[in-house]
A and B are shown apart, each in its own frame.
Chain A
Amino acid sequence: NAGVTQTPKFRVLKTGQSMTLLCAQDMNHEYMYWYRQDPGMGLRLIHYSVGEGTTAKGEVPDGYNVSRLKKQNFLLGLESAAPSQTSVYFCASRGPMGLQPQHFGDGTRLSIL
């Protein structure tokens, strides 16, 4: 089973460039999440979605936009990349019941020069 797949795995951008990170899950999960992970900061929630067509802000949403046009996909966009957005980005998904755990992808390593 593929589970949660993130594309691309690595990317280097210049300041001001834009890009979209793609997360795809094949588990028919309702909930999807985008996190960033930085040294000493742990996992911080950027945006999340509780179903197709819905999105909500997390702890650190500034500078990012998201879309959930299809249930299986959750896109994270950076409109004008900044060096502070250099990080490892993780996507996760889970089913609708409270105790169901989140399943993570293997991350996208993004460097902004």
Chain B
Amino acid sequence: QKEVEQDPGPLSVPEGAIVSLNCTYSNSAFQYFMWYRQYSRKGPELLMYTYSSGNKEDGRFTAQVDKSSKYISLFIRDSQPSDSATYLCAMSANTPLVFGKGTRLSVIA
């Protein structure tokens, strides 16, 4: 079993939809959780990060961490065509980040 599992998609949604992106993990020591967004031919850029369990909201983005289920989510409200990108989850136990393989999202106008 991979340490971090992420459905690669692709995921295609209409503009304005709510998008849910998810990762599961096996290492219970992970305590730092991050979401990165990567546009084509660019490096990943940090979108959200949280420590331990709970929710964090930033504008249209909400990150959730459920350590008991070893499950993290990223919700995007009112999705826009500019949100079309690959979304990578990443997590760490104060060690180098372990990344999911990324989910490719397309938001259709």
Contact = CB atoms under 8 A, between A and B. Distances in A.
B101 A107 contact: no
A40 B8 contact: yes
B92 A40 contact: no
Given A99-B32, A99-B51, A105 B100 contact: no
Question: How large, as a class, is the contact surface on chain B?
Answer: 20 to 34
B70 to A, nearest CB: 18
A102 B101 contact: no
A42 B88 contact: yes
A90 B41 CA distance: 11
A99 B100 CA distance: 18
Nearest to B33: A99
Contacts, number: 46
A45 B96 contact: yes
Interface of A: 4, 33, 40-43, 45, 48, 58, 90, 92, 98-99, 101-107
Given A4-B43, A101-B46, A104-B44, 8 more contacts: A42-B6, A42-B101, A45-B96, A90-B44, A92-B43, A98-B94, A99-B51, A106-B42
30 contacts: A4-B43, A33-B96, A40-B8, A40-B101, A42-B6, A42-B88, A42-B99, A42-B100, A43-B44, A43-B88, A45-B96, A48-B96, A92-B43, A98-B31, A98-B32, A98-B92, A98-B94, A99-B32, A99-B49, A99-B51, A101-B46, A101-B49, A102-B90, A102-B97, A104-B36, A104-B43, A104-B44, A105-B43, A106-B41, A106-B43
